[in-house]
Amino acid sequence: MINKQHFGKRTADLRRRLGLSQAELAEKLGISAQAVSKWETAAALPDVELLLELSKLYGVSVNELLESNGLLARIANCSFQAKDGIVYFVPAETDSERVQWERDMQTEGWIARNWHDAWGQPGGWAASEYGRNVIGERGRPSDLRIGRKIAEHGGVILDIGSGPGGGYMPFILQADPSAQIIISDLSHTVVEEWKRLLDQEMDSPFLYYAALDFCDIPFESCTVDVIADHGGVINCIGDQSSALRECYRVLKPGGIFVSLNGFVTKETLAALPEHAQQALLKEYPSIFNDLYADTVLAGFRKIDSMITDTWTTDEDDSGIAEFARSLGVTLQFTEYVRFCEK
Ligand SMILES: C[S@@+](CC[C@H](N)C(=O)[O-])C[C@H]1O[C@@H](n2cnc3c(N)ncnc32)[C@H](O)[C@@H]1O
């Protein structure tokens, strides 16, 4: 649907990116500066000829200029439902544990807390009954560094399994508030809650919202410049190898897949008592898989890994940490970020 507000914000931002004033753009197009001002304040839309001129000048399709879902409509490889600026490729969660998780996320305000922590603002976890989120806080400098790298690469950025933390999105936006990011998750609630918050916080015409399954990404091949994965694939609902293959498929040649992961080395596993080894391999086999082989098999050739942190389950309150405690063992995780180029 044509959206004047969206058009106004997008065209103003694209003009600024080219370093043009309203008067300079007006001169290029042979129209008055008032006409440009009217578009940007959502008081009017240009006629078709001028829309085509703008689309050529800015290198974006007319649909993307006019529709808030224009980008997703262009790259989708199937039909979808859209409502209130969100595109739904998957049905809502029905699993009772997931539904309860979504409820907790809403009632405890996880998304807003994580957003404020990512920006180093008050309103994060420190003020909650849970106290400081030690690991999240420690990861912030490297998340900011990686967010900057992703923003520098630019183009269409797909954040997969954005989750209540928002993945790399809050860090990318700190480097470039007009980055073009698709915020995505299997959970409708995650995507809807992020839209609600970001409409207030950023009001950016470059943020897109999609409920999708990253094991079967509903996009055409070679349509995305960056895939940002802040711990989504390692917590994948579905098959991790399919997820990696899908990431490879939708990336443009030269595009990058940036993936944050944490795993426990085989040496750590071997040093544990036999009963703990067996129980962990049964309940949490993926924590011993660093996904390197699957990443190569997906097609990625240039893969750089960077260790960003190490932590133990003693410092953590995740399900795995509680399970390790119940077995009387401590696990050391190595966290790394992998930059994979197509
Ligand atoms: C633990 S969170 C990952 C961390 C998250 N990126 C963050 O920054 O908070 C995992 C997220 O991935 C999502 N997820 C898991 N499997 C998925 C799939 N196949 N497709 C899309 N999202 C998925 C979950 O719904 C959840 O929100």
Question: Distance between terminal CA atoms of the chain?
Answer: 34
* pLDDT computed for residue 146 by the predictor: 96
Given 67, 91, 116, which residue is the final one in a domain?
Answer: 67
- Compute the distance from residue 280 Cα to the ligand 1 centre, in Å: 22
Q: Are residues 193 and 274 in the same domain?
A: yes
User: Which residue among 186, 229, 247, 260 has the greatest number of ligand 1 atoms within 8 angstroms of its CB, and so is best to mutate?
Assistant: 186
Q: Are residues 154 and 29 in the same domain?
A: no
- Which residues neighbour 205 within 8 Å (Cβ) at sequence distance 6 or greater? 6, 9, 10, 13, 68
Residue 250 counted as domain residue: yes
- Compute the distance from residue 213 Cα to the ligand 1 centre, in Å: 9
Q: Are residues 172 and 267 in the same domain?
A: yes
Atom of ligand 1 nearest to the CA of 237: 16
- Compute the distance from residue 62 Cα to the ligand 1 centre, in Å: 32
Q: Are residues 179 and 211 in the same domain?
A: yes
- Compute the distance from residue 39 Cα to the ligand 1 centre, in Å: 38
Atom of ligand 1 nearest to the CA of 167: 8
User: Which residue among 114, 236, 239, 260 has the greatest number of ligand 1 atoms within 8 angstroms of its CB, and so is best to mutate?
Assistant: 236
- Compute the distance from residue 17 Cα to the ligand 1 centre, in Å: 32
- Paired residues of 76 in beta bridges: 219
Pick from 331, 111, 146: nearest CA to 256: 146
Host domain of residue 207: 81-341
Q: Are residues 50 and 115 in the same domain?
A: no
| 269 Rama sector, left if φ>0, alpha if ψ -120 to 50, beta otherwise | alpha
Atom of ligand 1 nearest to the CA of 164: 9
Q: Are residues 327 and 202 in the same domain?
A: yes
For 327, other C-beta atoms within 10 Å of its C-beta total 19
Given 67, 90, 122, which residue is the final one in a domain?
Answer: 67
CATH value at residue 47: 1.10.260.40
Residue 75 counted as domain residue: no
* pLDDT computed for residue 276 by the predictor: 94
Q: What's the number of domains the chain is made of?
A: 2
Q: Which residues of the chain have pLDDT under 70?
A: 1, 129-138
Given 44, 67, 90, which residue is the final one in a domain?
Answer: 67
Q: Are residues 134 and 202 in the same domain?
A: yes
Q: Are residues 103 and 186 in the same domain?
A: yes
* β-pairing verdict for 207-211 and 180-185: parallel
Atom of ligand 1 nearest to the CA of 190: 27
For ligand 1, atom 2, name the residue with the nearest CA.
163
- Compute the distance from residue 332 Cα to the ligand 1 centre, in Å: 22
Residue 72 counted as domain residue: no
Q: Are residues 166 and 190 in the same domain?
A: yes
Residue 199 counted as domain residue: yes
Pick from 203, 209, 113: nearest CA to 158: 209
CATH value at residue 244: 3.40.50.150
Atom of ligand 1 nearest to the CA of 187: 25
Residue 21 counted as domain residue: yes
Residue 272 counted as domain residue: yes
Pick from 83, 81, 84, 52: nearest CA to 65: 52
Residue 74 counted as domain residue: no
Q: Are residues 99 and 18 in the same domain?
A: no
Residues lining ligand 1, Cβ inside 6 A: 161-167, 185-187, 190, 213-215, 230-232, 235-238
Q: Are residues 194 and 294 in the same domain?
A: yes
Q: Are residues 190 and 121 in the same domain?
A: yes
* pLDDT computed for residue 285 by the predictor: 87
Atom of ligand 1 nearest to the CA of 243: 19
Residue 176 counted as domain residue: yes
For ligand 1, atom 20, name the residue with the nearest CA.
213
Atom of ligand 1 nearest to the CA of 168: 8
Instruction: List phi, psi (to 5°) of 211.
Output: -90, 110
